[in-house]
Amino acid sequence: MTRSAEGQRRVTISDIALLAGCSKATVSKAVNNQPGISEEARQRVLKIAELAGWRPSARAVALAGRTRTVGFILDRRPDLLAADPYHAELVSGIESVLARHGYWLLLRIGTHASPEEEAATYRELAHSHRVDGVLVAETSVDDYRFGLVKELGLPAVVVSRPWSPVDLPWEGPEHPGGGMDEAVRHLVARGRDRIAYVCGPPSRSYVVYRTRTLVQAVADCGTALVGIRQTDASAEEGFAATAALLAQPQPPTAILYDNDQMALAGCRAINAAGLRIPDDVAVVGHDDLSVSRWFTPALTTVSQDVFGLGVRCATRLLGILGEQVEEPPAFADPVLVVRESAG
């Protein structure tokens, strides 16, 4: 008999087997999604286990070949991650699904000196059997990780659309330009004739998508593109990039940024140059972080459902792992939220 710390008797696998009228082996196969039983029997066992409030112990699950853990590796300096609320929203969406299904998230944050060092981290996860699957985020144009996770036999879902077709599932907006075309049209319609763009790392898939969309939108509108500045997506580099753009012989009358924290830092640089927002320079951010609406002037930004992206990615991966999951709501394309900084 097993008792909790409060002295109450805990439900065991033997209890579930007795209630379901089957063997303990059948219960184990049902909860670990293993073959050898009918789907009807599996669902009956799972329902009884749910009603009884029973879950297999972590040790029993591990022995059965499942860890009920999902890996998420972010190759980013911890200080940059701490200043970027985007990933906090993404992880919150992921966790909201994993927790509901009894899964854990193994989050690994840090910079890797080389692709080989990063690959070693994935190999360690696979060879140590610490995770059942992984989420692959912040992809690059030629991302070696797509082939690596398949080589390692790690079930994987890509967070946001890859640059080129891959033999892996992905979740994200169908049109990955990040709302840049809508933002450019809005600015041009309000008389902005010199557009600039402060982007993140140029190798990132999302940066290439957004850059291509922005350049095409500027050409379609017949206005001028007066500069693209590449950064590490930090506020510090956003400030420096803005200052450099404003020092040009023909400074921009509108600047778009790859994230809100760079846009807010850019506003500081514009004010430091003695210019007014939006009278002299209009500003558009990206991601619609909660702080953006409280800034003065309130930040015009491209809104995307980052929490919902995490939900869809986690749901897709659990479905691949054989869990019974409900299809989440459709993922909407990013939309422009017009506030004071763009007129």
CA distance 343 to 338: 8
Comparing 309 with 31, which gets the higher pLDDT?
Answer: 309
Stretch among 4-13, 16-25, 226-235, 330-339 having the lowest mean pLDDT: 4-13
Q: Quick check: 143 pLDDT over 90?
A: yes
pLDDT over threshold 80, residue 80: no
Q: Could you say which DSSP state residue 230 is in?
A: E
Q: How confident is the model at residue 56 (pLDDT cuts 50, 70, 90)?
A: low
- Per-residue confidence band for 1, with pLDDT thresholds at 50, 70 and 90: very low
Q: Would the pLDDT of 7 be above 80?
A: no
Report all structural domains of the chain as residue ranges with CATH numbers, in order of start.
13-63 (1.10.260.40), 69-174+306-332 (3.40.50.2300), 180-303+336-342 (3.40.50.2300)
Q: Which residue is listed with tokens 């998230």?
A: 105
| Residues paired with 170 in a beta bridge | 158
Contacts of 327 (CB under 8 A, 6+ apart): 315
CA distance 164 to 198: 24
Grouping H, G, I as helix, E, B as strand and the rest as coil, residue 226 is strand
DSSP 331: P
pLDDT for 101-135, tens place per residue? 999 999 988 788 788 889 999 999 888 888 999 99
Contacts for 35 with CB less than 8 Å, ≥ 6 apart: 29
Res. 2: pLDDT tops 50: no
- Rg of the chain (C-alpha set): 24
pLDDT of residue 33: 64
Query: pLDDT averaged over the chain?
Result: 89
User: What is the model's pLDDT at position 4?
Assistant: 43
Provide the percentage of residues in the chain whose pLDDT is more than 90. 58
- pLDDT of 100 strictly over 70: yes
| Distances in whole angstroms, Cα of residue 18 to Cα of each of 23, 33, 49 | 8, 20, 11
